[in-house]
Amino acid sequence: MIERRFRKRSIFLLLYLLFALLPIYWMVNMSFKTNEEILASFALLPRHGTWDNYKVIFTDVSWYSGYINSLLYVSINTVISLIVALPAAYAFSRYSFLGDKHVFFWLLTNRMTPPAVFLLPFFQLYTTLGLMDTHIAVALAHLVFNVPLAVWILEGFMSGVPREIDETAYIDGYTFPRFFLTIFVPLIKAGVGVAAFFCFMFSWVELLLARTLTSVNAKPIVAVMTRTVSAAGMDWAVLAAAGTLTIVPGAIVIWFVRHYIAKGFAMGRV
Amino acid sequence: MKPINQRAWLLVLPVFICVAFSAILPLMTVVNYSVQDIIAPERRVFVGTEWFVQVMRDEDLHAALLRQLGYSLAVLLVEIPLGIALALSMPAQGWKASAVLVIVALSLLIPWNVVGTIWQIYGRADIGLLGYTLASLGIDYNYTGSARDAWLTVLVMDVWHWTPLVALLCYAGLRAIPDAYYQAARIDGASKFAVFRYIQLPKLRGVLMIAVLLRFMDSFMIYTEPFVLTGGGPGNATTFLSQYLTQKAVGQFDVGPAAAFSLIYFLIILLLCFILYNWMQRVGTGDRPGAAP
């Protein structure tokens, strides 16, 4: 009985994984073909496998610097988002204060605006500040959607932690910063891992703002990619190779935070 | 309830500053544009609510709004249950858990314009895996010709792209449930379903709330993927609200109406999210008799 249920679950999981992997397989497949081969006929494997598309990316500085720029501002953004969101989420989950519910919901409303709305004002703002075409400008601009997300996710996890833990720690003489960093944050590791991954992910794939605020020095990979669409037609093969490479950093990030996500609650340590 | 402590504002202040800095300025700009007719940068006329009236009476917009509502509803109805089911069936530990976690997260990491482009090829009956498979099964599938196929393709693409978001949130939420709860359930002899209904689901309320709201607002503003995949066609079958907005703002250079449209758009999302938020809070706490505290 238990075994059958177990098998049913595994079959469902395997089917989903197949569904998830097939389009990615197709992208990787395309990245090893030439444009002619992609458009000529259906083929499960590239007939004359070629590394040329990857060579284009790794030998052209404007291509590979796109990855470095993206990584830089995404990392800055993720770190700032988490640092400001952790204490705020704690405040929302533990205390009542003037306007708490309103501020909490208002935070999320910043994700409800069509991104195009931000373009012109941000362009003017960062030009005035002299931050155009810098990594910090994009990192700051992305805070507008990542900070609310991080606060909401972390608040959800913090509210699941019983309040007795805080009270016991304060009675034991812990100061707030020490309690927060050494006891509380480790308790919600899963939430921190997920929040970090989502901040990374949303900043990594954002195109409109990143493209508008940069020109050369901080141009992100998502913007560099748009050059595969030109008057001469689509460069499917190079786009597929670039797409394959954009997965890699995020996959590494999730590999590092996986323990935080999978381990979860560790009550015994308090 | 929670103790009242006004000093908690100090903890919120950094977030408040960060977000207000980026949020208030754009909002002012949009409001400013929405009530003016900008003929040239130095010639502006105050027009009051004219743009708002014009946008509200736009028949095409009503159709796009209805399409959008139907689409977002479909996204939620498919992705939320699928995401929960996926989170429940993912292994909890060991190398399998790590591998599954990474594979599930992959689709989230692809830039949105690449997602559309890949599916454009993937769905083609002559050279794409999906289209080719469907064609060889004898199914007449053509996402560029048939409105139904185009709509379904955009939906399936969205499910493929975004279900991992729901699944990862739920998975982390499940891992955060202390073992003591399961032990108590085992002692009581609770069935699998009872464990899900009375332990896992209530504990997932926080993460499900954010998952539902995120998926709702993001699907309501979906732009890049359908634009790249179908260009809004065939006909208007996959022209959603944001695409309509972009046509107005960029295509016709109507900054005034576009700004008015953005504000109305924002208010619709805000209203629907607010309703969802309140509804989920009530469902989460109201109908659990005996499950207190």
Reduce the secondary structure of B41-69 to three states and give it as a string.
Answer: CCEEEECCCHHHHHHHCCHHHHHHHHHHH
Residue with tokens 């605006």: A113
Name which of A14-28, A138-152, B84-98 the model is least confident about: B84-98
| Half-sphere CA count of A197, side-chain side, radius 13 A | 31
Q: Do A100 and B8 touch (CB under 8 A)?
A: yes
Cα distance from N-terminal residue to C-terminal residue, chain A? 38
Percent of chain A whose pLDDT exceeds 70: 94
Q: Which of 3.40.50.970, 1.10.10.10, 1.10.1510.10, 1.10.3720.10 would CATH assign to domain B8-286? A: 1.10.3720.10
Query: What is the Cα Rg of chain A in Å?
Result: 23
- B188-217 residue pLDDT tens: 888 888 888 888 888 888 888 889 999 999
Buried b (16+ CB within 10 A) or exposed e, A83-115: ebbbbbbbbbbbbebeebeebbbbbbbbbbbbb
DSSP state of A184: I
Q: What is the DSSP letter of A233?
A: E
CB nearest to B111's CB, from A153, A155, A225 = A225
Which residues in chain B (67-86) have CB-CB distances under 8 A to chain A? 82, 85-86
Does the beta-carbon distance from A234 to B117 stay under 8 Å? yes
Distance from CA of A244 to the nearest CA of B (A): 8
Mean pLDDT of B161-185: 88
B207 CB neighbours in chain A (<8 A) are 153, 156-157
pTM greater than the 0.90 cutoff:
no
Token pair recorded at residue B255? 């900054």
Q: Do B90 and A13 touch (CB under 8 A)?
A: yes
Residues of A in contact with B164 (CB under 8 A): 20
B103·A21 Cβ contact <8 A: yes
Partner A, chain B 258-277, Cβ-Cβ below 8 Å? 262, 265-266, 269-270, 273-274, 277
Distance CA A217, CA A212 (A): 13
Summarize pLDDT for B13-49 with one digit per residue, the tens: 999 988 888 888 788 888 888 888 877 767 777 887 8
Query: How many angstroms from the chain centroid is the CA of residue B126?
Result: 32
Residue A228 gets which letter from DSSP?
A: G
Query: Do residues A28 and A240 make contact, with C-beta atoms less than 8 angstroms apart?
Result: yes
SS (H, E, C) chain B: CCCECCCHHHHHHHHHHHHHHHHHHHHHHHHHHHCEEEEECCEEEECCCHHHHHHHCCHHHHHHHHHHHHHHHHHHHHHHHHHHHHHHHCCCCCHHHHHHHHHHHHHHHCCHHHHHHHHHHHCCCCCCHHHHHHHHCCCCCCCCCCHHHHHHHHHHHHHHHHHHHHHHHHHHHHHCCCHHHHHHHHHHCCCHHHHHHHHHHHHCHHHHHHHHHHHHHHHHCCCHHHHHHHCCCCCCCCCCHHHHHHHHHHHCCCHHHHHHHHHHHHHHHHHHHHHHHHHHHHHHHHCCCCCCC
Beta bridge partners of B45: B37
| pLDDT (average), residues B126-148 | 86
Closest chain B residue to the Cα of A98, Cα to Cα: B6
Residue of B nearest to A126 (CA): B22
pLDDT at position B292 is 37
Nearest CB to B29 within list A121, A149, A204: A121
Rounded CA gap, B190 and B252, in Å?
A: 62
Q: What is the pLDDT of residues A81-131, one digit of tens each?
A: 999 999 999 999 999 998 888 899 999 888 888 777 788 788 888 888 898
| B-chain residue closest to A189, CA distance | B176
pLDDT at residue B168 tops 60? yes
Is B114 an 8 Å CB contact of chain A? yes
* Separation of CA A28 from chain center: 21
Which pLDDT belongs to residue A2?
55
CB A246 within 8 A of CB A204: yes
Which residues make Cβ contacts (< 8 Å) with residue B146, sequence separation at least 6?
B234
Q: Indicate the residue of A100, A198, A251 with minimum beta-carbon distance to B102.
A: A251
Residue in B closest to A252 by C-alpha? B102
Structure tokens at B7: 């000093």
Q: How many CB atoms lie within 10 A of CB B85?
A: 18
pLDDT of residue B106: 92
A interface test, pick of B1, B10, B19, B262 with most A CB neighbours within 10 Å: B19
Q: Which pLDDT tens digit goes with each residue over A207-266?
A: 888 888 888 888 898 888 888 777 777 888 889 999 999 999 989 988 888 877 776 544
Q: How far is CA B170 from the centre of its chain?
A: 16
CA distance A110 to chain B (A): 7
Query: B166: which 2 tokens?
Result: 């729901």
Describe chain A by its helix, strand, coil percentages, rounded to 5.
75, 0, 20
A53 CA: distance to closest CA in chain B (Å): 15
Chain A residue numbers touching B165 (CB-CB < 8 A): 198
Q: How many CB pairs under 8 A join A and B?
A: 292
Nearest CA in chain A to B178: A265
Mark yes or no for CB contact A113/B129 under 8 Å: no
Residue with tokens 């796009």, as numbered in its chain: B64
What domains, with CATH codes, occur in chain A? Answer: 60-269 (1.10.3720.10)
Q: Does B203 touch chain A (CB under 8 A)?
A: yes
Contacts of B22 (CB under 8 A, 6+ apart): A110, A118, A122, A140, A141, A143, A144
Q: Do B110 and A27 touch (CB under 8 A)?
A: yes
**Quick one: pLDDT at residue B289?**
41
Please check whether residue A248 is in contact with residue B106, taking contact to mean a CB–CB distance below 8 angstroms. no
Residue B218's nearest CA partner among A86, A149, A200 is A149
Question: How far away is chain A from the Cα of B33, in angstroms, using its nearest Cα?
Answer: 11
Write down the pLDDT at residue A270.
Answer: 31
What pLDDT does B291 receive? Answer: 39
Q: What is the mean pLDDT of chain B?
A: 85
Residue B186 to chain A, least CA–CA distance (Å):
15
Residue that wins the pLDDT comparison between B77 and A40: B77
B98 closest CB neighbour out of A30, A125, A258: A258
Tokens of A123: 């362009």
pLDDT range class, residue B72, cuts 50, 70, 90: very high
B174 contacts in chain A (CB < 8 Å): 264
Domain boundaries, chain B: 8-286
Looking at residue B290, its pLDDT comes to 39
Calculate the average pLDDT of chain A.
86
- The total of other beta-carbon atoms located within 10 Å of residue A134's CB is 18
- For residue B38, list its beta bridge partners: B44
The token duo for B44 is 């502006």
Cβ contacts of A250 on chain B, cutoff 8 Å: 105-106, 108-109
* Chain B residues touching A220 at Cβ < 8 A: none
Tokens standing for residue A97: 């204060």
Q: How far is B235 from chain A (nearest CA, A)?
A: 23
Q: Is the pLDDT of residue B69 over 90?
A: yes
pLDDT at A42: 84
Quick one: B36 exposed, middle or buried, by C-beta within 10 A (0-12, 13-18, 19+)? Answer: middle
Enter the ipTM: 0.87
Mutate to test the interface with B, among A1, A84, A122, A200 (most CBs of B within 10 A): A84
B47-to-A113, B114, B202, B210, B283 alpha-carbon distances in Å: 23, 41, 51, 39, 44
